[in-house]
Chain A
Amino acid sequence: MKGLEIAVTHTIGSFSLSLEFRSSAHLLAVGGPSGSGKTTLVNMISGLITPHSGMIRINGATVFDSDKKINIPVHKRRIGYVFQDGRLFPHLNVRSNLLYGKWFARKDSAIEFETVVKFLGLESLLSRGTAQLSGGERQRVAIGRALLSAPELLLMDEPLASLDQARKNDILPYIERLRDEIKIPIVYVSHNAQEIHRLADEILMLKDGTVESISANDKS
């Protein structure tokens, strides 16, 4: 099955999380108040956090199953992860940042470097250092870097939260085109109802570490 199947339980200190859902949306938006478990969820999908128990399947492939003792390490999960703060490598320029994940991408499924650069409008930035980028440019590079690692799934954790409204409006069309033109499912975390409504095919609302609702987004 294309998409995501999850049934996990996890505790961090006094916070406990128990989630079960499946989604085959192009773009699944994950919303809910702070502390509802949004970032924990994407970290579990990426493998940065190991759930206490349960299973996670991505496009039909099991990446975690506590019963069968399966836990694919982060670097083998083929998950693109765009973090809120970009997390570009400060000692590499834009081109090297973009190419970092391409070294490890499977050659047959890889997206062309030129395609990604053109898609995200990065032509003029390639030889720049990361310190010379604006917030919006950083996020575009971060998205390009994740795409070039040829992921099975793209995780975006509040990718626009640190940008002002003008920058957000610059980047939103790129994400819409990503959703419509590149066939990689996206899990998009945001606490911004407007963003979610504009981007999502399906909306997953979390509350206190549980699924409050999951439903198709009526974009009209």
Chain B
Amino acid sequence: MIYMSLTPSEIDALLISLRASFFATLFGLPFAILIAYVLARFRFPGHGLLNVVVHLPLVLPPVVTGYLLLLTLGRKAPLGAALETCCGIVFSFRWTGAALAAGIMAFPLIVRAVRLSIEAIDTRLEQSALTLGAHPVWVFLTITLPLALPGIVAGAILGFAKALGEFGATITFVSNIPGETQTLPSAIYSYTQIPNGDGPALRLVIIAIVISMAALFASEAMARRVKTRIIS
């Protein structure tokens, strides 16, 4: 019913948020799993540094992350310009940029969840698979990954929820263009800046709360289901 009463630009904001968060999670997840595995299983010079860099978006002011993205991937920045000429990829002031910003902000949360579940796996099971003739990559795919699945699912959903709520980095990097880069949080922000905006803002706030809670419930439920399946 709330959905019915939304204006077209509010529906756009909702859909952009969902789309950006979905792709942020989809593309972020494989990298997050890889980095979580490296951090959990290997000790090397630079281990601490990698860990700090991965966690940086969690502690930096989001506006700093957004500004750094603008400096590196903006259209006038060398890397951003190069990406556009070589592959036609543009991030600045597009919804793809919102997805990138959200993905980077959600990344540390996904890595943490996956890393914890990888660290909980008995490495002796992986050794045992090696002695049976499995190549280490195969061991990772058939032993490590399935056993880490509860953490991966929980991390992905948590990351999705975090991406959905991303505001500071997104608005700094891709601005707040209705129909293009305006996400749910930035639409709420816009309403709070205009007279009589409280009603519409509250409507969007309720949607945000419902989606976030649903994501958290889903995360818990999925993790439980996968866990019971693995144990039984």
Contact = CB atoms under 8 A, between A and B. Distances in A.
Whether A and B are associated in the same complex: the answer reads: yes
Interface of A: 46-48, 73-81, 83, 85, 87, 89-91, 100-101, 103-105, 129, 131, 145-146, 149
Contacts, number: 67
A74 B132 CA distance: 9
B130 A75 contact: yes
Contact of A48 (B125, B131, B132, B146): B131
Interface of B: 122, 124-125, 127-136, 139, 142-143, 146-147, 230-232
Contacts of B125: 87, 89-90
A105 B133 contact: yes
B232 A131 contact: yes
10 contacts: A48-B130, A73-B130, A75-B131, A75-B139, A79-B131, A81-B131, A83-B128, A100-B134, A101-B134, A104-B135
B72 to A, nearest CB: 40
Given A83-B124, A89-B125, A74 B130 contact: yes
A80 B231 CA distance: 26
Given A89-B143, A90-B147, A91-B146, A104 B124 contact: no
Given A75-B134, A75-B135, A89 B129 contact: yes
Contacts of A79: 131
A46 B131 CA distance: 7
B133 A104 contact: yes
A90 B127 CA distance: 14
Given A48-B127, A74-B127, A91-B146, A149 B232 contact: no
Contacts of B133: 75-76, 78, 101, 103-105, 149
A90 B130 contact: no
Given A83-B124, A89-B125, A89-B143, A146 B132 contact: yes
